[in-house]
Amino acid sequence: MLDRRWVADHTEEVIENCRRRGMPESLLEEIARFSSLDADRRRLKGEIDGLNQQAGLVSRSIGKAASDEEREARKAEGRQLREQISALEVTINEVVAAGDVILRSIPNLTHPDAPAGGEDASVEVRRGSTPLPTFDFKPLDHVSLGEKHDLFDFEAGSKVAGHGFLFSKNDAVLLELAMQRYAVEILARRGFTLTTTPDLARDSILEGTGFMPRGPETQIYSITDSDLSLVATAEITLGGAMQDHVFDADELPLKICGISHCFRTEAGAHGRATRGLYRVHQFTKVEMFAFTKPEESEAMHAELLDIECELFDGLGIPYRVLDIASGDLGGPAYRKYDLEAWMPGRGEAGDWGEVTSTSNCTDYQSRRLGIRFRTPGAKGTTLVHTLNGTALAIGRAMIALLENHQQADGSITIPQPLVAWMGKDRITT
């Protein structure tokens, strides 16, 4: 979330930003209301502070009271003050709660260079080093390739868990492991701390990271009779792990890699391009997360993007990089780049499909999570910036890999960097 005080003092700027992001008119009106709510909060806070001071003085005087009558009189006075305070606290809590609802619904500010507009306004800013493939045969999509080589069992997935789940089989398993090993290798070399993370997290952690468990339109699976949910991405746990932490300045920037399963209900996503691996309820992802000082976050964002490019260039997968338009940014993102890989089997004659996403969330997540750093000699603490990026989302990357590397004879070549981990250089029948 944004800073409460800053929002109250910069209402016009905040509204302008929301307009740029295509937020509904109703939210803009709410933001205008926020400023007066916050003024109420401050006024009430002043009153309560004053009463607290009085009540404290009264309480302390009781021990030194000269007589029983005086003591009783003071007690009554103290009781009366506390009642006033309680009443005001009820009011201020309501005001704060109303303000918080608004504050939490306000998205992050937007990078001035991010393209303005909706989904279609995103701008291609870069291409990968691998050219689009040319086939002298009709390329298959990954589902057909999977059938040919017995790589996936969607029926078994449906049987045990329902539509959107699958079993990987045979060479697909080796490939999954090889891809993870490949990604981890590159991230380790880039100075990331390697972790595997819990696949479940408390609802409070989800909320702190900006996810909404248990709403009517939630994308999150939750566990009945507990406060746990299945994570949609390791971003939740990697950010959540540092909740309320204060870094020393020399610990930053900190780069962490987390491998987790990701679970998404994909509510309302039926009927879209969901064949095969593209949109499933569970997949494995190698995620990057970074904590930086504010002035370092843009450079870190560029680094995360570079790593994503390096990973896909290394796999020989053609892709384009999109600078995501303001209207299509998620709430916490100040700026976001997506990699879209070329998927020859997608649509009529191939199409781009999103495979990674990297966001600079500036201090939007860290404010709610209370993640700060301290500079020696300087007073106070400063909120860190958080960034996240996909290293490899296994399912989607595998679609691109299988479809781009298929050969006329039906076999699939394994990109060189994976061969050692995979133990073979080709998938054949």
Partner RNA sequence: GGAGAGGUGGCAGAGUGGUCGAAUGCGCGUCUUUGCUAAAGACGUGACCGGUCAAAAGCUGGUCCACGGGUUCGAAUCCCGUCCUCUCCGCCA
- What amino acid positions are annotated as catalytic residues? 264, 279, 354, 357, 396
Cross-strand pairs, 343: 351
* Single residue of 12, 16, 29, 49 touching RNA by CB under 7 A: 49
The angle at the Cα of 407, spanning 404 to 412, to the nearest 5 degrees, equals: 70
- Give the interface size with RNA as a residue count (CB under 7 A): 30
Q: Which is nearer to RNA, 63 or 131 (CB)?
A: 63
The yes or no reply on residue 320 touching RNA (CB under 7 A) is no
Residue span binding RNA (CB under 7 A) among the ranges 28-36, 56-64, 164-172, 317-325:
56-64
In this chain, which of 67, 377, 409, 429 binds RNA, going by CB under 7 A?
377
What sign for the dihedral angle of Cα 419, 305, 398, 410? negative
The least CB distance from residue 283 to RNA, in Å, is 21
Angle at the Cα of 106 from the Cα atoms of 104 and 111, rounded to 5 degrees:
130
Q: Would you say 1 and 103 are in contact if contact means Cβ atoms under 8 Å apart?
A: yes
- Alpha carbons 401 and 397: distance in angstroms, whole number: 6
The stretch near RNA (CB under 7 A) out of 54-62, 111-119, 255-263, 419-427 is 54-62
Is 293 a binding residue for RNA by CB under 7 A? The answer is no
Site for RNA in 5-24 (CB under 7 A): 5
Dump the DSSP string for 63-118.
TT-SSHHHHHHHHHHHHHHHHHHHHHHHHHHHHHHHHHHHHHHSPPP--TTSPPSS
Residue 58 interacts with RNA (CB under 7 A): yes or no: yes
Q: Which residue in 243, 419, 294, 278 sits closest to 354, CA to CA? A: 278
Task: Choose, by CB under 7 A, the member of 134, 138, 376, 408 that binds RNA.
Answer: 376
Contact between 4 and RNA per CB under 7 A: yes
Contacts of RNA in 61-90 (CB under 7 A):
62-63, 74-75, 78-79, 81-82
Q: Which is nearer to RNA, 53 or 193 (CB)?
A: 53
Q: Tell me how far, at minimum, the Cβ of 39 lies from RNA, in Å.
A: 9
In whole angstroms, the minimum distance from the beta carbon of 241 to RNA comes to 13
Distance, CA of 145 to CA of 302 (rounded, Å): 35
Return the beta strands (E) in 221-303 as ranges: 228-230, 246-248, 254-263, 282-292
Determine if 126 is a binding residue for RNA (CB under 7 A).
no
190 and 307 in contact (C-beta within 8 Å)?
yes
Cα-Cα-Cα-Cα dihedral sign, residues 346, 351, 355, 357: negative
**Where along the sequence are the contacts to RNA (CB under 7 A)?**
4-5, 42, 45-46, 48-50, 52-53, 55-56, 58-60, 62-63, 74-75, 78-79, 81-82, 246, 372, 376-377, 379-381
